[in-house]
Chain A
Amino acid sequence: MKTTLPVLTGIGSVTPYGPLAGLISPEFMEPLEPSVITAWTTPGVRRVFLVEPFRPAAIVPGLKTRRLDRLSAWALVASSLALRDAGIDLSQLDRSRIAVFFATGLGCVELTEAFFQSAATNGWAGTDPITFPETLGNAPASHVALFHDLRGPNVTLSSKSFAAESALLQAASLLRHGQADLAIVLAGDTLTQAVYEWYEAAHLLAPACFSNEPMPSAGGFIPSEGVVAMVLEPAGRQTARSYAALGAGCWAAGGDARSAVRQLLGDVRLDFVICAGNGASCASSPLTCSARDLIGEGAILPAQAVAAGMGEAGALLHLLLALSKRPGHGQALLLGRSAHGGFAALRLELF
């Protein structure tokens, strides 16, 4: 079934750390504190992790994003930075064999809300034809394909709690089965006032959203936003470096996580567990306990609030943050657990 393991050769991101190619520099890494919302009016102090506004064309010359949802714009920037980081010259590749996988929980919510606004203002017969296609879930991935002229498989998916892990695994599967030569995997979401207020009304937020607590030490999360892009390709291309090789993985809506992960690991001794606490407190004790159970005396790279706040799209940011800590060479497991009993696990060899 498997030939060579796909390797991760490029990273681009647009997150609360800003638009970046490659790993996040140590001086930016921690602590990243949530900022007080000023983009809209709140009843009191409300804190979130937001992406500071920037001009995409300043990062990627020639990029036009004026009519796009921020999610699409960030996907374009992040994918461009990831390809740049990987040192890939697309003109040398068969672009019909380059895949794009995009993982998102909510999709283009900004323009979806704008579309509903036009319906409320003008009636259903008076909605905006420019906005409508940009509300579709696959708009960001299709813009990535259009901008880079990528004509291979183009897939947008969601998965309760584990969209990013699912996208990574399915993109790697395409490479293994020869259905693509290279894949750009992206994961992200944007935060709007309506979404934030929905989280708040549903009592999903951590106390740290409403106070100066440094971290969400108890239930709930601090909402976050951004897009992370990663370039996957089969091992063997002459490249400056690879961040990691992706091994086997699994994700499931329920069942015996411990047994499944044990089976996945086989005889592999883990050096690191990267915790991906999606949409939950980064101090999620079940996750930490699971990790300790798996790794023994190895290192646990705890979930980070800024990534946990991105919900089901957060795993790529968890992985980026873990890689940015430069933990060293070794066998790692990206491990996610959901409050509903689901889990995701992905084996990695870190370089």
Chain B
Amino acid sequence: MLAGQCCFKPATELYPGFAGTVAAVGALPSLAEGHRYSRTDRMAMAAARDAVADFDGPASDLRESGIVMASTVGGLSEIDAEISRGPAAWYRQGGLSRAASYPVSRVAASVAEHLGIEGPTCAVSVACASGAMAIALAANLLLDEAAPMVLAGGSDALCPFTLSGFNSLQALDPEPCRPFDQNRKGLNIGEGAAVLVLETLARATRRGARILAVLRGWAMTNDATHPTAPRKDGLGLACCIQRALEMAGCGIEDVGYVNAHGTGTPLNDIAETHAYESAFHGRSRPIPVSSTKSYFGHCLGAAGALEAAITITAMQTGALFPTLRLTDPIESSGIDWLRGELRRQPLPVAMSVSAGFGGSNAALVFGRSRA
């Protein structure tokens, strides 16, 4: 991302005749019981393993951790259209173990099994806002002292199910997507997983942990407007942003960067633009906004967690990632569309915003640790 590269490639193997995209992923863990885990599960396990790789606290803390994992398709990544021709036969012909991996709860359970975690475990399925909501719900678990720390994130594998579904809605761009561009045509589906380790600031400070960021505020709202389309005036999302800032104790001047949902669809991007215009109205200088889906596509249930990680990376490196291929931005007021060259500036506070089918919105406000 620092080099401005995106990881798109044609998806012809997965979806013949359609020029979609696939995000490249690294090696997945080799498991003796690998057949029990879907690709979604395995990506989640890989991300979770990396997230706790340098955890040096008490083993009991890791064992008692909570897990909140987001996914939209779960193990449906393994399914094929043949199931509808004879479900029972398909299940009996070796599909049983795979069938057991269909529920999205398996994603969280797989992470728990992989890392030997025995704390509160759940999976969140709120379409494309899932990943951000997983982080918000994990933060609430910490407020409730339900676990010493919580692994929160999301995972979704690219599969015919989602490609076909978004294609049926005519929501896919056959070319690499152009979020917030006036000539945008739709989204590209990606795949991936991201997991964040959350613990209270007091506890992390006490154990001398390397604190990457402080989650200062979070909020969740719903548009209650349409099953798939966002509210056109963006007020549901604007309300979500305002509530997250309120919880964070931040004003609109404090935010240095917004990692947008920015799918590249005509409806989302205009609604989101209105949301930023409304939420940051009265700010003395334009709010910097970019969509990093232009690098790896829309990773659905993983998107919110992945983009939260990128937002934290931006804060740590002082690098504000531009939206790729954004040449003719949507007309707006008060928005500084990040495009072209990578911008570098200190970033004490940044925000990650997500939205999804069903009208759900989520906003996360991150700050740098003073520790």
Q: Which of A10-18, A170-178, A323-331 sits within the interface?
A: A170-178
Contact with A along B57-86 (1 / 0, CB 8 A): 000000110010000100010010111110
CB pair A146 B226 closer than 8 Å: yes
Contact with A along B146-182 (1 / 0, CB 8 A): 1000000000000011011111111000000000000
CB pair B87 A113 closer than 8 Å: yes
> Which residues of chain A have C-beta atoms less than 8 A from B120's C-beta?
159, 166, 250-253
> Which residues of chain B have C-beta atoms less than 8 A from A150's C-beta?
222, 224
Tell which of A116, A159, A177 touches B121, judged by Cβ atoms closer than 8 Å: A159
Q: Is A124 an interface residue (CB 8 A)?
A: yes
Query: Which bracket fits the contact residues of B?
Result: 35 or more
Bound-complex Cα distance A158 to B222 (A): 19
> Which residues of chain B have C-beta atoms less than 8 A from A251's C-beta?
120
Q: Is A36 an interface residue (CB 8 A)?
A: no
A-B contact pairs, 18 of them (CB 8 A): A1-B145, A95-B224, A107-B104, A125-B164, A151-B236, A159-B105, A160-B105, A162-B122, A163-B122, A170-B140, A179-B219, A194-B88, A250-B120, A253-B109, A253-B112, A253-B117, A255-B63, A341-B118
- B187 nearest CB across to chain A (Å): 14
Tell which of A124, A142, A152, A153 touches B164, judged by Cβ atoms closer than 8 Å: A124
Bound-complex Cα distance A169 to B102 (A): 25
Inter-chain pairs besides A1-B145, A158-B103, 18 sampled, C-beta below 8 Å:
A129-B169, A137-B127, A145-B224, A146-B224, A146-B225, A151-B223, A152-B220, A152-B221, A158-B104, A170-B141, A173-B140, A194-B91, A197-B88, A252-B118, A252-B119, A253-B112, A253-B119, A312-B105
Q: Is B213 an interface residue (CB 8 A)?
A: no
CB pair A138 B118 closer than 8 Å: no
- B245 nearest CB across to chain A (Å): 14
> Which residues of chain B have C-beta atoms less than 8 A from A138's C-beta?
125-127, 356-358, 360
Contact with B along A112-130 (1 / 0, CB 8 A): 1101110111011101110
> Which residues of chain B have C-beta atoms less than 8 A from A119's C-beta?
81, 84, 160, 164
Bound-complex Cα distance A134 to B84 (A): 17
- B107 nearest CB across to chain A (Å): 9
Contacting B at CB under 8 A, from A163-209, are 163, 166, 169-170, 173-174, 176-177, 179, 193-194, 197-198, 201-202
Most buried by B among A128, A150, A252: A252
Q: Is B99 an interface residue (CB 8 A)?
A: yes
CB pair B146 A145 closer than 8 Å: no
Tell which of A100, A142, A163, A169 touches B357, judged by Cβ atoms closer than 8 Å: A142
CB pair A153 B96 closer than 8 Å: no
Most buried by B among A1, A160, A166: A160
CB pair B359 A132 closer than 8 Å: no
CB pair B168 A132 closer than 8 Å: yes
Q: Is B144 an interface residue (CB 8 A)?
A: yes
Bound-complex Cα distance A312 to B105 (A): 10
Bound-complex Cα distance A179 to B144 (A): 13
Q: Is B92 an interface residue (CB 8 A)?
A: yes
CB pair B359 A253 closer than 8 Å: no
> Which residues of chain A have C-beta atoms less than 8 A from B102's C-beta?
106
Q: Is B255 an interface residue (CB 8 A)?
A: no
A128 (CB) vs chain B CBs: closest residue: B168
> Which residues of chain A have C-beta atoms less than 8 A from B105's C-beta?
105, 158-160, 163, 312
Tell which of A136, A141, A160 touches B108, judged by Cβ atoms closer than 8 Å: A160
Given known contacts A125-B164, A142-B227, A142-B357, A155 and B81 CB-to-CB distance under 8 angstroms = no
Bound-complex Cα distance A134 to B108 (A): 23
> Which residues of chain A have C-beta atoms less than 8 A from B163's C-beta?
124
Q: Is B17 an interface residue (CB 8 A)?
A: yes
Q: Is A154 an interface residue (CB 8 A)?
A: yes
Bound-complex Cα distance A117 to B164 (A): 13
CB pair A136 B72 closer than 8 Å: yes
CB pair B227 A146 closer than 8 Å: yes
Given known contacts A151-B224, A160-B106, A160-B109, A120 and B118 CB-to-CB distance under 8 angstroms = no
The 8 closest A-B pairs by CB, nearest first: A142-B358, A137-B125, A254-B118, A194-B87, A132-B165, A153-B220, A158-B105, A159-B122
Given known contacts A116-B81, A119-B84, A159-B121, A149 and B103 CB-to-CB distance under 8 angstroms = no
Q: Is A304 an interface residue (CB 8 A)?
A: no
> Which residues of chain A have C-beta atoms less than 8 A from B133's C-beta?
153, 155
Most buried by B among A128, A146, A176: A146
CB pair A120 B84 closer than 8 Å: yes
Bound-complex Cα distance A342 to B99 (A): 21
Q: Is A157 an interface residue (CB 8 A)?
A: yes
CB pair B91 A157 closer than 8 Å: no
Tell which of B18, B140, B170 touches A174, judged by Cβ atoms closer than 8 Å: B140
> Which residues of chain B have C-beta atoms less than 8 A from A153's C-beta?
133, 219-222
> Which residues of chain B have C-beta atoms less than 8 A from A177's C-beta?
140, 143
Q: Is B228 an interface residue (CB 8 A)?
A: yes
CB pair B88 A156 closer than 8 Å: no
Most buried by A among B165, B169, B224: B224
Given known contacts A156-B125, A253-B121, A127 and B137 CB-to-CB distance under 8 angstroms = no
- B142 nearest CB across to chain A (Å): 10
> Which residues of chain B have C-beta atoms less than 8 A from A120's C-beta?
81-85
Bound-complex Cα distance A280 to B112 (A): 22
Tell which of B82, B160, B170, B224 touches A149, judged by Cβ atoms closer than 8 Å: B224
- B199 nearest CB across to chain A (Å): 16
CB pair A159 B123 closer than 8 Å: yes
> Which residues of chain A have C-beta atoms less than 8 A from B219's C-beta?
153, 179
> Which residues of chain A have C-beta atoms less than 8 A from B356's C-beta?
138
B109 (CB) vs chain A CBs: closest residue: A160
CB pair B144 A151 closer than 8 Å: no
Bound-complex Cα distance A159 to B68 (A): 9
CB pair B81 A124 closer than 8 Å: yes
Q: Is A298 an interface residue (CB 8 A)?
A: no
Most buried by A among B91, B117, B122: B122
Given known contacts A1-B144, A125-B17, A193-B87, A132 and B358 CB-to-CB distance under 8 angstroms = no
Contacting B at CB under 8 A, from A9-47, are none
Contact with B along A264-294 (1 / 0, CB 8 A): 0000000000000000000000000000000
Bound-complex Cα distance A132 to B226 (A): 14
Most buried by A among B81, B143, B359: B81
